[in-house]
Amino acid sequence: MSAEASPQFHAPAGTIIGWAEGAVLRASGIRYARAARFQYPVAEPAAAAPIYATTPAPACPQAADLQLAQAFGDFHTGATFDEDCLRLSITLPANRQPGEALPVVVWVHGGSYVSGAGDLPLYDPATLVQEQRVVFVAVTYRLGLLGFLGSEGGPPPNLGLLDLLEALRWVQRNIQAFAGNPDLVTLLGHSSGADAVAHLMVAEGAAGLFRRVILHSAPLGLARHRHAMTRAMVAAAGPFPATVTVEEVLAREKVVYKAVRRFGLKSGMPFGTQYGAYPLPAEAELDRAWAAVASKVDVLIGATAEETRFFAVINPTFRWVRRVPVVGELLLRLLVGVTSGLIYRQPALAFARQHARAGGRAYHFLMQFQPAGRTLGAAHTLDLPLLLGTRAGWEATPLLSQVKWAAINEAGRPVRQLWMDFARTGVLPAPIELPGVLRLKQL
């Protein structure tokens, strides 16, 4: 294999051997830390031998989600699952120049803190990277009971968040070897990934690790007043003997979900960050903590117009609404409007306003994109193919199987330009309206 087909990156982490694919270079599945089960992550030391970064990062073990499969099909096709999942993958332009220092985008995937992985085909950044000349880093981290539930005397809380911090430290140490600028790091998060990014802004030890954040569909309306639910989750999960298998851990996640149904909307995403536990401030200090970092982090935050239509369609709990004679569709629109506002849209706008009042630069967007064909309207996740993925990845999903990729790619082109302009400069020419796609304003 030629040197061009096997690019080498000489980084403090060691000599990393990647692979070439068309107009991009990739280095996949690089270990940034290690962690024993329910233990803090430990940064990976420099390697003396070459690091072969030619296979995707394994996904954190997770239970099969049949509801998500209705929208995305088997989105884990070809994936491996391993608790040794603290890995990241890097994509950069193949025509990088010597000494070039490109903006860096760090992707934090969503999935309600229980599903997903950084290297899913749906998140392929090749188009974004070659079109916008950025370096893209996809991070895989611990999920569910393995990463986002803890208690005094039990597993530490916020382990998945601490994984992300270790990944960001790895980026700071090594990204220059991949033509990236460590002073121009933007975190891009979707759904629970955006929620995690918002909390990384106030995490102990995060100062200086990133300059900007882009938050898509962060469920900030579910983030607070979770103490009673968390106690119920800990009680339902019970203690974990040293001999417990990962299959038994995943089985207990199902028990946890059943135990929290009485907590209403919050039970839709029971796993998440825990305030007052390292590295996060107490809940009462949260707004002051966000205000304290406002001048140091630029924010681009928003939601889709009909966020919860996605869940109202795939979740059998809500299907009865549409079947109500005469008024079913009206009731569904009402339910979607109220819940989308409470969980996503209103908290996003409030976050942007709070950030601006504290002296930070903040932009707010509303994604209105709803491609023609049999889709869910401007629902949760419908904005993702505007930024990430390929024809092969998205057209294979039930969600977009009736939609022509050319139309999605064309609608996404100006969005990709705006978002990466923000990553480069932190400044956007707001207000902007892309009819049928996006509304954006500065707060």
Would 149 be classed as within a structural domain? yes
Q: Residue 355: which pLDDT band, with cuts at 50, 70 and 90?
A: very high
CA distances from 263 to 191, 266, 425 (A): 20, 6, 42
- Residues pairing with 27 in the sheet: 90
Q: How confident is the model at residue 371 (pLDDT cuts 50, 70, 90)?
A: confident
Per-residue model confidence as pLDDT tens digits over 211-261 = 999 999 999 999 999 999 999 999 999 999 989 999 999 999 999 999 999
Q: pLDDT at residue 2 above 70?
A: no
Q: What is the CATH number of the domain that holds 184?
A: 3.40.50.1820
User: pLDDT tens for residues 153-184?
Assistant: 899 999 999 999 999 999 999 999 999 999 99
Phi first, then psi, for residue 408 (nearest 5°) are -65, -45
Q: What's residue 390's pLDDT?
A: 85
For 220, the domain range is 8-442
In a domain, 2, yes or no: no
The pLDDT assigned to 66 comes to 61
CA–CA separation, 360 vs 348, rounded Å? 15
Instruction: Answer whether residue 12 is part of any domain.
Output: yes
Element (H, E) at 417: helix 405-425
Q: What mean pLDDT is predicted for residues 6-34?
A: 97
State the burial class of residue 246 (Cβ atoms within 10 Å of its Cβ: 0-12, 13-18, 19+): middle
Q: Could you give the CA distance from residue 108 to residue 138 in angstroms, rounded to a whole number? A: 7
Least confident interval from 146-150, 242-246, 351-355, 359-363: 242-246
In angstroms, rounded to a whole number, what is the distance separating the alpha carbons of residues 138 and 121? 12
100-112: average pLDDT: 97
d(C-alpha 223, C-alpha 346), whole Å: 13
Residue 35 in domain: yes
> Two tokens at 164?
């992300």
Band of residue 320 on the pLDDT scale cut at 50, 70, 90: low
Q: Is residue 203 part of a domain?
A: yes
Please give the pLDDT value at position 245: 95
User: Is the model's pLDDT at 1 over the cut of 50?
Assistant: no
Q: Are 368 and 305 in contact (CB under 8 A)?
A: yes
pLDDT: which is higher, 199 or 313: 199
- What is the per-residue pLDDT across 47-62, written as a single tens digit (0 to 9) for each? 999 999 999 999 999 9
Per DSSP, the residues of 165-180 read HHHHHHHHHHGGGGTE
Residue 1 lies in a domain: no
The rounded radius of gyration (Å) of the Cα atoms in the chain is 21
Report whether pLDDT(314) > 90: no
Q: Is residue 168 part of a domain?
A: yes
The pTM assigned to this predicted structure is: 0.95
Domains identified in the chain, total number = 1
